[in-house]
Amino acid sequence: MRYLLALLILFLTTADVFGWSASVAPGLSIKNAILYLIILALTLRFVVRGGLRLQLPQVHLWFAVLVAYATLSWLATGLLVRYSSYTLLSSGIDLKAALLDNALVFVLFLYGTQTWADVRFLLNCLLLAVAAANAIAIGNAAGAFHIGITTIGTEGNLAGRVFGAFGHANETSALIVALLPAYIAATLSATGVARLLWMAAGVGSANLMIMTGSRGAFVGLLVAIIAGSVICRNIVSWRRAALLAMVIVAIIVPVFALVSLGFGEVFTHRVTELILSPGTSSGERTYIWQPVIDKMLKNPIAMITGFGWASYDVSGFVFSAHNYYLQLWFELGIAGLLSYLLLIRSLLVVARRSAADAPDEAARYLVAFVYGIVGLSGALVFSVIYRPWLYVWMYTGLTMRMALLARQSARLETGSEQRTAPGPRVAAAQRGAGRSAAQSLTLRQGKSSRN
């Protein structure tokens, strides 16, 4: 199964790099067809082996609530509300691509892996595939070759910004923010040439993030450093973290200097504007968000229920929401937003608790997941992503399997310790026997002294 999943990762990244989007039916691309075939193979495997045991029920619960409410909202909007230019088919295809496929990918990578070897192999495949796509984007943007659909913006605030293989510049950078901590964990876990390889993959991806000029990604990275460190404060060794930070800075600074020759102006302009003129950068977002908020305030009930799945695109707004949470709230109301937030919280809780008892390598990856998801959550305040979600949920499924394996090994160790140590009754009996023996010895000594 892990080789099928590896082929899925390879095909998805290759399709995104080269822009393959061939469709065999409405809402069914070749990528989807391959995904569904592998899901079928996994289902058949569980049927043959005797069924599926539900794991991480709380995570599944909130995912199911989100998907179910979105489905009900889609049906109600398409059959009852009937916005102009809103079609049940197109919005249903959007629902399948944006939620159902993500849920399937999560389940596929969670239950399609069973051992540490499976998780390590597929996680390496995923990280290497994304790093290779990022490297191709850098080479394409720098003019070293011309391949794929990587583009460089030419107008407005997109001028000079590299889009990469995973959609808009904000989408590509959000995915990089989510995976950067995993590259650091892979670097720390490797030795020799492999360590240099992972270091190059992480540095290359970081520099593509700079080339995208995404201020949301920069904010997400800052949020990850602060909030992630707070969440993992009892796990992370701060001495090692400081040493690691110095090593990363020593590597990134010269590489960034090289990248700056061609793309540094994008970074310096947008970050300088973010720091020195926050009113300008926030004003852009306020200009986009204000009409959305005004419409929600005029319809208080819709603030609770939402205006309906995929209703944002037919509501007359000029720009993309540039805020995943605001768009989710607008379309699915409080129920949809809370179910998503509780889903993310459940994932972070599982990773954080499992990291405390996991072996060193697994703990690194679990802590990296916490940092990455927190960073992604921060980036989503300023962007909406579509294409990267499949990769995020692949990564999430693999990490959750790693967390389950860490829990299992911790339980086995605890069980062996309990079996080795005497139980309470046995220990009490041993203590009683010890006291009786001591008393008998004292009595004998007393008798001998009297005699």
> Token match 């040439």: residue?
193
User: What is residue 448's predicted lDDT score, i.e. its pLDDT?
Assistant: 43
Q: What is the pTM of this model?
A: 0.85
**Nearest alpha carbon to residue 370 among 347, 392, 390, 391:** 347
Say if CB 90 and CB 359 are below 8 A apart.
Answer: no
CA distance 447 to 376: 80
User: What is residue 320's predicted lDDT score, i.e. its pLDDT?
Assistant: 86
User: What is residue 449's predicted lDDT score, i.e. its pLDDT?
Assistant: 41
Question: What 3-state DSSP class applies to 146?
Answer: coil
User: What is residue 37's predicted lDDT score, i.e. its pLDDT?
Assistant: 81
User: What is residue 371's predicted lDDT score, i.e. its pLDDT?
Assistant: 93
User: What is residue 249's predicted lDDT score, i.e. its pLDDT?
Assistant: 65
| C-alpha distance across the termini of the chain, in Å | 82
Question: What 3-state DSSP class applies to 196?
Answer: helix
Q: Is the dihedral angle over the CA atoms 98, 111, 399, 17 positive or is it negative?
A: negative
Q: What share of the chain is helix, strand, coil (3-state, %, to 5)?
A: 80, 0, 20
- 278-299 residue pLDDT tens: 544 556 778 889 999 999 999 9
Per residue of the chain (451 residues), give pLDDT as tens.
788 899 889 988 988 888 877 666 666 777 777 777 877 777 777 666 666 678 899 999 999 999 999 999 999 999 998 888 889 999 999 999 899 999 999 998 999 898 999 999 999 999 999 999 999 988 888 777 777 666 776 666 676 788 888 988 899 999 999 999 999 999 988 999 999 999 889 988 988 888 888 888 888 988 998 898 889 888 877 666 666 666 666 666 666 655 555 555 555 555 555 544 554 455 677 888 999 999 999 998 988 999 999 999 998 888 888 899 999 999 999 999 999 999 999 999 999 999 988 888 889 999 999 999 999 999 999 999 999 999 999 999 999 999 999 888 877 766 655 555 555 444 444 555 444 444 443 434 444 444 4
